[in-house]
A and B are shown apart, each in its own frame.
Chain A
């Protein structure tokens, strides 16, 4: 039986959440302050913590930080009564929670998301993934300044991060490349502008992208295939942001700007790792059709798992994790961020379509309806946008 701990200084909230879980199979624990919460975790072995943000003395931000440090296996949900920007921003930056729920909440959605989070968790801990990861014959090292930059990011020091990017030619070049090919609308011209536009929480995704790209470049032989995959990721990112802006009329969720860019890191890592093995790897054939076949068929399952695994290790937001894990099956019932995953699914498919005429590229028929977007309208406007951008 899964154990859930709810922490809130307000007893009525604890009571109502306990009531909400009444007909479920979870064992519920409650605590009115962070110290009690920590001792319950210590003695009971908790699977999920749902914590209020604002509490006297040790607040939810600090509590979840401690839990993340000491008990990384516990699934963290942050419950927030109001939208004070600063603590929320910091919580996002430090990826303190898989899910952010605002008061007042909807019981059904809340329960469903809890269930999904547990199932996701079980999946990632399955034997399947462990086998795949063990098969990767090398995990790349973060080159150059990446680790240093991530450390500065955690200190919320944008100026220092910009300085470090500026002195590293490879990362600088990559940032300009990303800001000119993976962003919709404005295209910043300098490192500072680009970094400021992207913002700290999204820069973290970028740094991992740049570091991955650095590793891929080491071998020239299959350069073409990697170049194609990168082009596809940039294009996906752009279409992803285009859909949010032009069709959903909003920004992607906080810290998820690069969900499109990151969606295929699994395939990149897997190909990089397996490239010496001509049978299952890329071999001599690095055509787009081959890549599409690998993406959609041979590696579909494993590359999504590998990608999600790394997003998890890199401590990137759960929304990007889901985009990586589910971008080929956006109607999976365990998805929490349905909208975002649907958009990534459409974006990656149409990015392939821009690059190739292969008939393997599938778009789930229901996702457009789910987003209330008409396919014809989307295709027309996308074609116009691509033409404008000379892609």
Chain B
């Protein structure tokens, strides 16, 4: 413990020093005859307890007390007042301003030691407390940081599961786009050939009919008629009509797919919710998963009336896509000889919206029904799935939308997932 003694009288200082020297708890005694230097000393030395005289020129003990108590850095140093006057009012004022104790002058060794010991104990506990607080504070900081890392990791995990799902779908989507691209580009080449033939006819037409001022000769008309037939223009004109219709359909298909993917790919860190059409959300999920599904199953969508739903659009899409792809994969795993069935049903109930996605695949064994929503639980082969899909679906439905998600299954007959979301 370091003690600072402040007194304008050198005699008192040396007396105090002598009395303090034989206390084993004290490691350093600092003496100061000018209270105005106290601040500088405190800044320089690590002072634990301060003893000050009350009556001093320039700065009284009370002033010093006020000064220290108003400084956050030193407001916890126990301050003991030396006093000669038996003045209750001054004592009262000193204590009001945060003095720890007082010592009467002339110094009595026994009293000094006794009062100082109390102060030392108090300061010790205070120091311990402070150290403890420091540790707690640091631990708290660490926890905060870990927490931040965890939620970042969770965000990344969710994001990477989403990207994995997209990756899985990407190949299928490429196929979905390449099919219309295939016939559009092929038809386009045919269209160029058709145009060349029409051009050939028009050139002749211009030469025979437009460029001469006379009424057309029978020969010219005959020649044109013959050309028309030999170029097979009747067929070509009809075919061009077909090409336009087919190309338009193909272009619409491509833009539908690209649009639905673009919406899906946004990251929405902010959990923003809005009012959305359930029909549109389901339609888009079906479109995106079409390639994954159409070779193994048919989707029946039973939505008697469109339902408006308050939700985060991307999150809910993610759940639908996940459940549809799961259903398709379950059916696919059976390698059956006919198409399976995926049924999506949504109804508005009094307080809820109930959405059911069911398949007629192999179903889920009873012992797994309780585990499927756990993170990293998967029955797929290594590399086929992260085992996060359903746990994320659970998080989205239950935690983010205040809904419920449950699974039911009759092994051998199929499985169904039921989402219940609060109605708008």
Chain A interface residue count: which class? 20 to 34
A89–B54 CA distance with the chains assembled, in angstroms? 96
B172's contact among A59, A82, A103, A107, by CB below 8 Å, is which? A82
Do the beta carbons of A81 and B175 come within 8 Å of each other? Answer: yes
Interface size on B, residues (CB 8 A): 30
Closest to A23 in B: B193
Q: Known pairs A83-B171, A104-B185. 8 more at Cβ < 8 A?
A: A13-B182, A16-B187, A16-B246, A20-B190, A59-B295, A82-B172, A83-B174, A104-B184
Query: Is B179 interfacial (CB 8 A cutoff)?
Result: yes
Report chain B residues within 8 Å CB of A253: none
Q: Which residues of A contact B239 (CB under 8 A)?
A: 19
Closest to A111 in B: B189
Tell which of B174, B184, B189, B296 has the most Cβ of chain A within 10 Å: B189
**Chain B residue at smallest Cβ distance from A102:** B178
Closest residue to A85 on the B side, CB-wise? B171
0/1 interface trace, chain B 222-258, chain A, CB 8 Å (1 if under): 0000000000000000010011001001100000000
Q: Which residues of A contact B (CB under 8 A)?
A: 10, 12-13, 15-17, 19-20, 22-23, 54-57, 59, 81-84, 102-108
Residues of B within 8 A of A13 (CB): 179, 182-183
Instruction: Decide if B182 touches A103 in the complex (CB within 8 Å).
Output: yes
B181 at the interface (CB under 8 A from A): yes
B186 in the interface (beta carbon within 8 A): yes
A10 to B182, CA, bound (A): 11
The interface residues of chain A lying within 8 Å CB-to-CB of B338 are 57
Q: Is the C-beta of B413 less than 8 angstroms from some C-beta in chain A?
A: no
B337 at the interface (CB under 8 A from A): yes
Closest-by-CB residue of A relative to B253 is A12
Kindly identify which residue among B171, B178, B183 contacts A16, using a CB–CB cutoff of 8 Å: B183
Inter-chain contacts of A55 with B (CB < 8 A): 295
Residue of A nearest to B181 (CB): A104
Within the complex, what minimum Cβ distance (angstroms) separates B365 from chain A?
Answer: 27
Cβ of B181 and Cβ of A12 under 8 Å apart? no
Interfacial chain B residues near A59, Cβ < 8 Å: 295
A–B pairs, 17, beta carbons within 8 Å: A10-B183, A13-B179, A13-B182, A13-B183, A16-B183, A16-B190, A19-B239, A20-B190, A23-B193, A54-B175, A55-B295, A56-B295, A57-B338, A84-B175, A104-B184, A104-B186, A105-B185
| A82→B171 contact, CB < 8 A | yes
- On whether the beta carbons of A104 and B171 are closer than 8 Å, the reply is no
Asked if A107 and B295 sit within 8 Å, CB to CB, the answer is: no
B189 touches A108 (CB 8 A): yes
Shortest C-beta distance, B422 to chain A (Å), equals 39
Residues of A close to B295: CB separation below 8 A: 54-57, 59
| Residue among B182, B184, B187, B193 with most chain A CB within 10 A | B182
**Chain B residues with CB under 8 A of A104:** 178, 181-182, 184-186
In the complex, residue of chain A having the shortest beta-carbon distance to the beta carbon of B184? A104
A20 and B186 in contact (CB under 8 A), knowing A12-B180, A12-B250, A59-B295?
A: yes
Question: Which residues in A have their C-beta under 8 angstroms from that of B184?
Answer: 104
Chain B interface, DSSP helix/strand/loop, else mixed: helix
CA–CA, A249 and B184, complex, Å: 32
Closest approach, in angstroms, between the C-beta of B176 and any C-beta of chain A? Answer: 8
Q: From B249, which residue of chain A is reached at the shortest CB distance? A: A12
Residues on the B chain within 8 Å of A22, using CB: 190
Nearest-CB residue, chain B, relative to A108: B189
* Distance A129 CA – B184 CA, assembled complex (angstroms): 42
Q: Which of B159-196 contact A (CB under 8 A)?
A: 171-172, 174-175, 178-187, 189-190, 193
- Nearest A residue to B246 via CB reads A12
Cα distance A102–B171 when bound, in Å? 14
| Inter-chain contacts of B157 with A (CB < 8 A) | none
Query: With the chains together, A56 CA to B174 CA distance in Å?
Result: 17
Closest 8 CB pairs of A and B: A103-B182, A82-B175, A16-B183, A16-B186, A81-B178, A81-B175, A104-B181, A107-B189
Return the contact of B182 from the options A16, A19, A23, A84 (Cβ within 8 A). Answer: A16
Residues of B within 8 A of A84 (CB): 171, 175
B294 within 8 A of A: yes
B263 at the interface (CB under 8 A from A): no
Cβ of A10 to closest chain B Cβ, rounded Å:
6
A81 to B242, CA, bound (A): 23
CA distance A106 to B246 in the complex (A): 18
A63 to B255: give the CA distance in the assembly, Å.
32
The 8 Å CB contact of A105, one of B186, B242, B250, is B186
A108 contacts across to B, CB distance below 8 A: 189
A307 to B304, CA, bound (A): 67
Q: How far is the CA of A106 from the CA of B187 in the complex (A)?
A: 10
Contacts of A10 in B (CB 8 A): 179, 183
Distance, CA A16 to CA B178, complexed state (A): 14
Q: In the complex, what's the smallest C-beta–C-beta distance from A35 to chain B, in angstroms?
A: 11
Say how far B89's CB is from chain A's closest CB, in angstroms. 95
Asked if residues B183 and A12 are in contact (CB atoms below 8 Å), the reply is yes
Measured between beta carbons, the chain B residues less than 8 angstroms from A81 are 174-175, 178-179, 182
Q: In the complex, A369→B171 CA distance in Å?
A: 36
- B185, B337, B338, B339 interface centre (most CB from chain A within 10 Å): B185
CB interface residues, B 56-92, toward A, < 8 Å: none
Distance of A77 Cα from B249 Cα, bound (Å): 27
Residues of chain A with a CB closer than 8 A to B172's CB: 82
Cα of A82 to Cα of B177 in the assembled complex, Å: 9
Whether A107 pairs with B190 at a CB distance below 8 angstroms is yes
Chain A contacts for B291, CB-based, 8 A: 54
Which of A15, A57, A106 contacts B189, CB < 8 Å?
A106
Complex CA gap A19/B243 in Å reads 10
Which residues of chain A are within 8 angstroms of B175 by Cβ–Cβ distance? Answer: 54, 81-82, 84
Could you say which of A17, A19, A23, A103 contacts B179, with CB atoms under 8 Å apart? Answer: A103
Q: How far, in Å, is B268 (CB) from chain A's closest CB? A: 28
Per a CB cutoff under 8 Å, which of A23, A54, A103 touches B181?
A103
A56, B339: Cβ atoms closer than 8 Å: yes
* Cα of A76 to Cα of B339 in the assembled complex, Å: 27
A83 to B182, CA, bound (A): 14
0/1 string, B112-154, CB within 8 A of A gives 1:
0000000000000000000000000000000000000000000
A102 CB contacts on chain B under 8 angstroms: 178
A220 to B24, CA, bound (A): 106
Q: Within 8 Å CB of A19, what residues of B?
A: 186-187, 190, 239, 243
B297 to chain A, nearest CB (A): 9
Q: Nearest Cβ in chain B — how far from A138, in angstroms?
A: 45
Complex interface: chain A residues within 8 A of B180 (CB): 12
User: Complex formed: what's the CA distance from A106 to B190 in Å?
Assistant: 11
Bound-state CA distance A83–B246 (Å) is 25
What are the residues of chain A within 8 A of B294 when measuring CB–CB?
56
Complex Cα spacing A10 to B242, Å:
16
Q: State the Cβ distance, B343 to closest chain A Cβ, in Å.
A: 18
Min CB distance A288 to B, Å, is 50
Check if B337 sits within 8 Å of A17, measured CB to CB.
no
- Bound Cα distance A242, B179 (Å): 36
Q: Which of B171, B250, B339 has the most CB of A within 10 A?
A: B171
**Interchain CA distance A23-B181 in the complex, whole Å:** 22
